[in-house]
Amino acid sequence: MTDESSGVADALREHLAVCNDLLALAQRESEALANPAPYPVAETRARRQELLSRLESSWREFAAQRAKWQRINPDGGEPSPGFAGLLQTTLDTIMRVLVLDRENEQGLLRRGLLPPQSLPSAERQRPGFVAGLYERNART
């Protein structure tokens, strides 16, 4: 394994570690929202900001390593053995974070901790709604 392929895999591992930290935070938020005790808004916000900066940094590093890998190996292929599995694990973790975060949004809304301006649009809540309207109206 070359240094370049090791670099892209290492960068993805670091990004996965940050995603795992985000998942742990989302799980703690979910537990806090399920508990009737006061929700720790300031603590959660500070932790989110910290993780956001780490997420941006790890994503940029991964993108830079990936671009470097693609310049060296224009024919493609996996940078290292097991890279596809690592990538799939990372994507699965990201999806879990997104789903849990959306559920947490609903919990924050129920508690009145989410300002109305930051509510997601109806299209985001029901992405197939507009397509369904067009489909129903096309039949009439």
- pTM as predicted: 0.76
Q: What is the pLDDT of residue 1?
A: 45
Is residue 114 pLDDT above 50, yes or no?
A: yes
Tell me the per-residue pLDDT of 61-108, one tens digit each, with 9 for 90 and over. Answer: 999 998 998 888 877 677 777 888 999 999 999 999 999 998 998 888
Tell me the per-residue pLDDT of 8-54, one tens digit each, with 9 for 90 and over. Answer: 999 999 999 999 999 999 999 999 999 888 888 889 999 999 999 99
Contact in structure between 94 and 26 (CB atoms under 8 Å): no
Q: What is the pLDDT of residue 126?
A: 67
Q: Which two tokens stand for residue 101?
A: 């975060």
Three-class SS of 60-93: HHHHHHHHHHHHHCCCCCCCCCCHHHHHHHHHHH
Is residue 5 pLDDT above 80, yes or no?
A: no
Q: What is the pLDDT of residue 101?
A: 92
Higher model confidence: residue 109 or residue 12? Answer: 12
Contact in structure between 86 and 13 (CB atoms under 8 Å): yes
Sign of CA dihedral 12, 15, 17, 19: negative
| E strand map for 53-101 | none
Q: What is the pLDDT of residue 105?
A: 87
